Amino acid sequence: MSQVTNILVVGIGGQGVMTATEILAEAAIALGHDAKKTEVAGMAQRGGVVSSHLRFGSRVLSPQIAPGTADVLLAFEAAEGLRWQHMLRPGAIALVNDSRFVPPVVELGLFDYPTNPVADMKAAGTKVVAFDATTIAQGLGDIRLGNTVMLGAIADHLPFSADDLLACVLQRFQKKGEKMVDLNRLAFAAGRAAVGMVEASTA
C-alpha cells in the first residue's frame, strides 16, 4: 500500500461525478488507505463541467493530481475525457462514456464540440475503453443509474476488489429500499461487463 493511486473523474454537472468520487474514496478508506479528494465544479448544477481528483494510498499529502500522473481517467462524458487526457501517465487507461452531453459553453458558441472525441483520444496514443453508459442506464429504467454503471466500469482497474467497491455503492442505497439496491447492483454489473467486453474484443 506504499504506492499512491491517482484517479481523475470528469464529466458534466448532474451526472454524479462527485458522488462517484465520494464512493471510491469511501471504499479506499474502508480498506485502510489514506485518501484525499478535491473537486472543481463550473456551474455544476446547470450542466457545467466537473472534475474530481482522488488520491489514495498508505499516506497521501495532497489531493491534487499532477499532469501526467493519473492512473485512471473515468470520463462520464467523452469530450471531457479528451480535454483531460493529458493528466494520464504513460500506459494508463481512460474509461469513457461515449454518449454525447453538450455543455452550455458549446450551446452558447464559446467552444466547438469535437466531432469524435474518442477517436481523437486514441489518435493521441491514449489507451481508451469506450462504452455507452447512458444507454445501459436507460435500459435499466433510470438514466441516473449511469453513475453506478461508471463505478462498475472502473471496478477492475483499482488496487482493491470489485466486491469491496460494490459494497460501498449498495450501502448508499440501503435506505431507499430493496428495489433501488437491486437496480444499482445490476447497473454496477452491467458497467463492469461492458468494459470487460470492450477490453476482450481489443486484446
Question: What is the model's pTM?
Answer: 0.92
Helix (H, G, I), strand (E, B) or coil at 96: strand
Per-residue pLDDT of the chain (203 residues; tens, 9 = 90+): 348 999 999 998 888 899 999 999 999 999 999 999 998 765 544 557 789 999 999 999 889 999 999 999 999 999 999 999 999 999 999 999 998 776 665 666 656 778 899 999 999 999 999 999 999 999 999 999 999 999 999 999 999 999 999 999 999 998 899 999 999 999 999 999 999 999 998 86
Q: What is the CATH number of the domain that holds 10?
A: 3.40.920.10
The count of domains in the chain is: 1
Range of the domain at 193: 5-202
Among 57, 64, 60, smallest CA distance to 31 is for 57
Q: Which long-range contacts (CB under 8 A, 24 or more apart) does 25-32 make?
A: 25/54, 25/56, 26/168, 27/158, 27/160, 27/164, 27/165, 27/167, 27/168, 28/54, 28/56, 28/160, 29/56, 30/164, 30/167, 30/168, 31/160, 31/164, 32/1
